Amino acid sequence: MVKKKSDSGKSVYGSTIDNGVASAHTLSILVDNEPGVLARVVGLYSGRGYNIESLTVAETDHANNLSRITIICSGTPMVIEQIKHQLDRLVPVHRVTDLTLQGEHVERELALIKVSSTGEKRIEALRTADIFRARVVDSTHESFVFEVTGSSAKVNAFIELMRGLGMVDVSRTGVAAMSRGTKAI
């Protein structure tokens, strides 16, 4: 899951000596909003054998033609350091910020969940949605579409509960993140 290099014990040269412990990092990457920029970032991950756990991207500054890419990926401190340097090397990348290292930050994700059920299950789904402060954004006699926002853990928990209540579809945005406090990323 972490990085292909971890199974490169097969290489006759051995892998880079790295005794660090892998953990997930949230990287915020400010890029020029130009064709191919996402392909460059994603290609870097696949080409160098890193794994992306979550990815969101959208234009965030129209006037300056900038987009923000938020990526969650796991690795030892040395691997994360390498990923950040590799990203920073890309010409359209303006800034790479490691929100996990930078200190406290908030992460939010939005999910749409379709539940198709009737009777008691249907009522239970609605009750659970209420507890999670999920909104009903579409409804038929046999289905609901819920919208839930929150941390990935909360979204996961909600999805787990809905699974037993007739869940037929999930669509998640991936994580958007920002540091706490007054300073901009």
Partner 1 sequence: MHAHRNYVHNEEELQRTSIVQKSRAAFGNPNRLCFLVIYEGKEIMTPPKDQTATKAQTEQDNTVHALPKTRKMTGAQMVMEALAENGVDTIFGYPGGAVLPIYDALHQQKKVKHVLVRHEQGAGHAAEGYARSTGKVGVCLVTSGPGATNVVTALTDALMDSIPMVCITGQVPTFLIGTDAFQEADTTGITRACTKHNYLVRDVNDLARIIHEAFHVARSGRPGPVLIDLPKDVQFAEGPYISKDQAPMHMYQPRTEPDMDLIEEAVELMASAKRPVFYTGGGIINAGPKASEALVKLVRETGFPITSTLMGLGSFPASDKQWLGMLGMHGTYEANWAMHDCDVMICIGARFDDRVTGALKGFSPHSKKIHIDIDPSSINKNVHVDIGIVGDAGKAAEAMLKVWKARGFKADPDAMKTWNAQIDKWRDIKCLQYKNSKDVIKPQYALERLSDAIKKDGRDTFISTEVGQHQMWAAQFLPFEKPNRWLTSGGLGTMGYGLPAAIGAQMAHPDALCIDVAGEASILMNIQELTTAVQYRLPVKIFILNNQWMGMVRQWQELLHGERYSQSYSESLPDFVKLAEAYGGIGLRATTPAELDDVIEKMMKTDKVTIVDVCVDQKENCFPMIPSGKAHNEMILSADPSQYDKKLV
Q: Residue numbers of the site for partner 1 (CB under 8 A)? A: 12-18, 35-36, 39-40, 43, 47, 78, 81-82, 85-86, 88-92, 94
Q: 18 vs 124, which CB is nearer to partner 1? A: 18
Q: 44 vs 126, which CB is nearer to partner 1? A: 44
- Shortest Cβ 14–partner 1 spacing (Å): 5
Cα–Cα distance, 67 to 90 (Å, whole number): 14
Q: 35 vs 181, which CB is nearer to partner 1? A: 35
Under 8 Å between Cβ of 155 and 108:
no
Dihedral of alpha carbons 20, 21, 22, 24, sign: negative
Q: What is the CA radius of gyration of the chain?
A: 20
* 35 dihedral zone (left: phi>0; alpha: psi -120 to 50; beta): beta
Q: 32 vs 53, which CB is nearer to partner 1? A: 32
- Shortest Cβ 108–partner 1 spacing (Å): 27
- Shortest Cβ 73–partner 1 spacing (Å): 15
- Shortest Cβ 168–partner 1 spacing (Å): 17
- Shortest Cβ 1–partner 1 spacing (Å): 21
Q: Specify the DSSP element, H or E, that contains 63.
A: none
Q: 83 vs 175, which CB is nearer to partner 1? A: 83
- List own/partner pairs for 34-42 with CB under 8 A and 24 or more apart: 34/65, 34/92, 37/67, 37/92, 38/69, 40/90, 40/92, 41/69, 41/71, 41/87, 41/90, 41/93
